[in-house]
């Protein structure tokens, strides 16, 4: 394994507690260059002279590439800043018998690709396709559901939500993330992002595996979201827990490559590779008695392999979303409970399946191991906390500068089925006391009343 692969696999961090930050490496490089110039001035001078002589060849590419990237960040930032955004709270009724299939149907309407149709719109206007934030927040044990969106999508969201959940109430709410400062020393903050444990086309354990694709009797109903909501409803006075899923239509930006046809590589191409790999393992080789050559036999998949391939095909047959998942635990300094960190790390355990896929905590505060030799770690932690809270408040995940702290493959790709599993309006079978529900359905007066 090369030194690059060693760093990429985080082997040094996991085994020895050694983490490489960019700035020490830059300083080390400058020091090595200075030392080399002291002991080998002629060699260093020659290398610098050659680099300077070849500058007309490499410098334009560096400058043009850097300028283009900064230009795109600028135009996108301007475009995002010009939009009007609203936060809608979804209040479920007391008696709700809808399954997560209703949420899956609703989510399909958010699969929007408009806004970046031409290169001119993308590069000169900063146009991007719409993205949304699906949020569950607990305020001192009171659990609420929200959708953050551009204001011009409000009518679409309300119409489709009422169509699938006729008894819900949707109201515009103040941005709860701006109601507290989240600044130390008054507040203690811990948070992380979430990503898949395996490759994206491998599905997590969805509501279909739990039998929630059909209405069940309440005593028989097992909803994995109940664990999450019960946990969020268990926090006490002075504690807050925020969870968001920033979503947009999947177009393959995560992979940065093309397939054999020249099209953008997407999770469907990755699924084809996974299925081919599984199929290749189902063939046992045999020796041809005539030629003596080794030949592949007939496919003989196990039941698990067949189910795995079927699950992958079912997943990619549905609409896909890029998903950035983030969770933050905030508490007044005297109320901060460290055990909450352990619970947040295992928050999505009920949705994980061995051999298929799961969701695990990563990045942000997960980067720190608190070894005694980590110099300046407290200042770095505080910087990460501020940046993490700001990214949550802005509902940013896919664009600079709020990709800070993310690994290159931090974005998940999830089907509508998976997304509806981790975010849906809970039925009345979930009886968490802190879950805010309206007492009765609301509606307009009949239009034919006498006046």
- Arithmetic mean of pLDDT, 91-119: 88
Q: Where are the domains of the chain?
A: 84-255+308-422, 267-305
DSSP conformational letter for 435: B
- pLDDT tens track for 349-362: 989 888 889 999 98
Helix%, strand%, coil% for the chain, nearest 5: 40, 20, 40
Strand partners, 138: 143, 241
Number of separate helices (H) and strands (E) present in the chain: 14, 11
CATH architecture of the region 84-255+308-422: 3-Layer(aba) Sandwich (3.40)
- pLDDT tens track for 269-328: 999 999 988 888 877 766 766 676 766 666 777 888 888 899 999 999 999 999 999 999
Alpha helices in 240-295 (DSSP H): 267-281
| The model's pTM | 0.85
Structure token pair of residue 357: 């896929």
pLDDT at 408: 45
pLDDT at 69 over 90: no
Residue percentage of the chain with pLDDT more than 70: 85
- pLDDT-derived band at 399 (thresholds 50, 70, 90) equals confident
Structure token pair of residue 338: 């460290």
Q: Which helix (H) or strand (E) holds 294?
A: strand 294-299
- pLDDT tens track for 170-188: 999 999 999 999 998 999 9
Structure token pair of residue 287: 């020796």
Strand partners, 136: 145, 243
> Would you say 214 and 102 are in contact if contact means Cβ atoms under 8 Å apart?
no
- pLDDT-derived band at 6 (thresholds 50, 70, 90) equals very low
pLDDT at 12 over 70: no
Residue percentage of the chain with pLDDT more than 90: 45
DSSP β-ladder status, 320-332 and 283-287: unpaired
- Arithmetic mean of pLDDT, 423-430: 83
| 3-state DSSP assignment of residue 239 | strand
- Arithmetic mean of pLDDT, 42-53: 86
Higher pLDDT, 401 or 87: 87
CA–CA distance, 267 with 250 (Å, rounded to integer): 8
CA–CA distance, 373 with 157 (Å, rounded to integer): 51
Higher pLDDT, 299 or 78: 78
- Arithmetic mean of pLDDT, 119-130: 89
Least confident interval from 128-142, 144-158, 294-308, 329-343:
294-308
Strand partners, 171: 89
pLDDT at 253: 86
How many residues are there in the chain?
A: 451
CB atoms inside a 10 Å sphere around CB 7 = 14
pLDDT at 19 over 70: no
Going from the C-alpha of 113 to that of each of 31, 56, 315, 412, the distances in angstroms are: 49, 41, 20, 18
pLDDT at 66: 87
pLDDT at 314: 92
Strand partners, 135: 146, 244
């Amino acid at each position: 394994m090369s030194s690059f692969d060693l760093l990429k696999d985080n082997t040094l961090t996991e085994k020895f507690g050694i983490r490489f930050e960019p700035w020490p490496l830059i300083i080390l490089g400058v020091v090595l260059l200075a030392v080399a110039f002291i002991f080998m001035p002629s060699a260093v001078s020659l290398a610098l002279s050659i680099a300077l002589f070849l500058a007309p060849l490499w410098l334009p590419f560096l400058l043009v590439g850097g300028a283009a990237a900064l230009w795109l960040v600028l135009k996108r930032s301007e475009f995002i800043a010009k939009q009007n955004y609203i936060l809608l709270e979804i209040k479920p009724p007391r008696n709700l018998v809808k399954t997560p299939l209703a949420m899956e149907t609703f989510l399909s309407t958010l699969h929007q690709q408009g806004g970046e149709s031409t290169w001119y719109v993308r590069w000169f206007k900063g146009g991007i396709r719409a993205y949304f934030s699906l949020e569950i927040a607990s305020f001192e044990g009171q659990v609420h559901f929200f959708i953050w969106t551009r204001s011009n999508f409000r009518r679409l969201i309300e119409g489709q939500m009422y169509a699938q959940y006729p008894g819900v109430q949707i109201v515009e709410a103040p941005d709860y993330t701006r109601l507290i400062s989240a600044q130390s020393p008054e507040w203690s903050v811990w948070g992380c992002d979430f990503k898949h444990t395996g490759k994206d086309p491998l599905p997590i354990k969805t509501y279909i595996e739990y039998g929630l694709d059909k209405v069940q009797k309440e005593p028989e109903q097992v909803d994995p979201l109940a664990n999450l909501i019960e946990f969020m409803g268990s926090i006490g006075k002075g504690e807050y827990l925020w969870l968001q899923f920033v979503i947009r239509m999947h177009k393959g930006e995560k992979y940065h490559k093309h397939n054999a046809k020249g099209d953008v590589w997407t999770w469907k191409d990755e699924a084809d590779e996974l299925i081919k790999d599984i199929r290749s393992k189902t063939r046992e080789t045999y020796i041809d008695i005539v030629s003596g050559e080794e030949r592949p036999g007939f496919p003989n998949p196990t039941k698990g392999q067949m189910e795995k391939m079927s699950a992958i095909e079912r997943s990619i047959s549905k609409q896909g979303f890029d998903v950035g998942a983030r969770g933050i635990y905030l508490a007044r300094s005297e109320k901060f409970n460290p055990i909450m960190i352990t619970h947040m790390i295992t928050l999505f355990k009920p949705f994980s399946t061995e051999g298929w896929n799961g969701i695990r905590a990563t990045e942000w505060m997960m980067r720190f191991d608190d070894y005694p030799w980590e110099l300046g770690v407290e200042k770095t932690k505080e910087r990460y906390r501020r940046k993490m809270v700001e990214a949550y408040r802005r509902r940013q995940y896919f664009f600079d500068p709020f990709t800070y702290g993310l690994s290159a493959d931090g974005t998940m790709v999830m089907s509508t089925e998976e997304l509806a599993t981790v975010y849906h309006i809970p039925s009345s079978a979930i009886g968490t006391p802190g879950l805010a529900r309206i007492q009765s359905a609301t509606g307009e007066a009949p239009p034919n009343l006498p006046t």
